[in-house]
Chains A and B, each alone.
Chain A
């Protein structure tokens, strides 16, 4: 088991539902990330939080809303999603000030939008 825990591991939701993905890291890192991995596509960086402030937002639709209440927790709030949003959502953490900036990933949350 890694030091980054994601819940739920699997989620099925309708297009009108509101749900949230949760990520928790136990590594003492101060940066957290959301990545999206669609079938047969590379991982796409969605959001970056450093010291609990959002520092990257890579043109992600507003139906995805991140929240970082403290350096150990990261949420991705989901509302009115589309079927094409079905994907594996990966959370990661790192030392943002580290020269090497090695990321530790969670196992991911598999989202299916009906």
Chain B
């Protein structure tokens, strides 16, 4: 099974950009890279996903390495509300037309006022 590796924790100052790294060296050609985040006392929330090209949405940007063995989630201006655990996940087919999202431990992001 392809897995991801993330730092356990990171800190950022408020209103500064944050780059959250993720390594996925055993990724397969059809695996999508997903990012979710989980705020305290809430369920995980979708952030962004991509396959090969860099992606932007209203929440964040996703930069994917050319060999796809790593990616970086970019929060352009961190706010206190961005303090959460961020999960980098590979969406993989698991048979019968379903696709698993297997969560790791994620990166706990702290935002300093």
- Taking beta carbons and an 8 Å cutoff, which residues of A are in contact with B? 2, 4, 31, 35, 42-43, 45, 48, 50, 55-56, 90, 92, 96-97, 99-108
Contact residues, B82-101 vs A (CB, 8 A) = 91, 94-101
B99–A101 contact, CB under 8 A? yes
- Min Cβ gap B85→A in Å is 10
Chain B contact residues, majority secondary structure = strand
CB nearest to B101 among chain A residues: A103
B43–A101 contact, CB under 8 A? no
B49–A56 contact, CB under 8 A? no
| Number of B residues with CB within 8 Å of any CB on chain A | 24
A104–B32 contact, CB under 8 A? no
Contacts of A96 in B (CB 8 A): 97-99
Bound together, the chains give a CA A4 to CA B46 distance in angstroms of 13
As a 0/1 sequence over residues 41 to 73 of chain B, the CB contacts with chain A under 8 angstroms (1 = contact) are 111111001000000000000000000000000
Cβ-closest 5 pairs across A and B: A105-B43, A43-B103, A55-B96, A55-B98, A101-B99
